[in-house]
Structure 1
Amino acid sequence: EHVHRADEDHALLVNIADHSHSLTHGSAWMSADPKLVEHAIREEEKKAKEMEKKLEGYLVETGIEGQVIITKGDPGPTLIKLADEFNAAYIVTGTRGHGKIRRTILGSVSDYVMHHSHVPVLIYRS
């Protein structure tokens, strides 16, 4: 709401569900129970629907012109692709503040976006 210009901007609020951890939970010596994976995906989809309602409510509450996109995929590349498709002027993304070890091993969506975006990126710590 602090960077949005009501007369010019259209906000695109995006939530990208990454199911890769659910689908790859098993390993060569321990396979994931398909029912557990299905349950995990259903739970993530339920959370995504809740997030969609929350984001739509935010747009209404603040009077910001925009739309909500809920999708699945690898968050970094998917966000870059959406920004390109919608001709975004800039990207605002948060960081969860995961520890250095986790960020080093798994990477960071905000780091990925910062290094691969074709438009300016504003990263805020949540």
Structure 2
Amino acid sequence: MAESDKKPEEDKKPEEGRRNVMISMDGSKGAKYAFDWYAENVYQPTDNVIMAYCAEHGVNLPPTALMAGNPTVIQAMIKEKEEEVMKVFKTIDELANKHNIKHTLERLDGPPGECLIKAAEQQNVTLIVAGSRGHGTIRRTIMGSTSDYIVHHSHVPVLIVKHEDDQQKLK
């Protein structure tokens, strides 16, 4: 097949014996636990690990800041949000380094479930790993659950890792 005849997805296929694994990371206790569990129980040195962080709807400024129209206030809020993102990136890198796992970091913008599924398809991922935050029934019903969305919309296997604190709530 000529190079120009390849479909875009074929360029992203992992090499023979390698898996593209996307891990949803938001810096939460549940996400960290999910990564640790993956590293200790599933990880293979040949895995191509993609750590995905969703910055929901970009900077996510409150409407009051936009209505105020003060550029200084808006810039300060944008800077604060970017600092939060960089803090999460640092946490992700430290976590991966603790387990000696080479990884790439991918920043996604949009609703977490939707952007993770889209990125997983674009990266030709063979497994998605996510933590469960253990939200209560009412909050999950009103707001939805990212892990629930991933499970129901993914075309590849999904590993949802419940934090041990969540297990205690079930007893």
**TM-score, normalised relative to structure 1:** 0.80
Higher-Rg member (1/2): 2
Deviation, structure 1 residue 94: 0.9
User: Quick one: structure 1 residues 20 and 108, their matched pair in 2 at CA, closer, same or farther if it must change by over 3 Å?
Assistant: farther
Q: How does 1:79-118 map to 2 (within 5 A)?
A: 79-118=116-155
2:57·2:110 contact (CA, 8 Å) conserved in 1? yes
Q: Distance in 1 between matches of 2:154 and 2:87?
A: 28
Q: Distance in 1 between matches of 2:144 and 2:76?
A: 26
* CA RMSD of superposed structures (Å): 2.2
Q: How does 1:57-76 map to 2 (within 5 A)?
A: 57-76=94-113
Q: How does 1:30-49 map to 2 (within 5 A)?
A: 32-34=64-66, 39-49=76-86
Q: Distance in 2 between matches of 1:38 and 1:106?
A: 29
Gaps of 5+ in 2: 1-38, 164-171
Gaps of 5+ in 1: 27-31
Q: Distance in 1 between matches of 2:99 and 2:128?
A: 19
Q: Distance in 1 between matches of 2:150 and 2:83?
A: 26
CA shift digits 1:54-89 (9 cap, x unpaired): 112222221112211123211011000111111111
Greater fraction helix: 2
Q: Distance in 2 between matches of 1:103 and 1:40?
A: 28
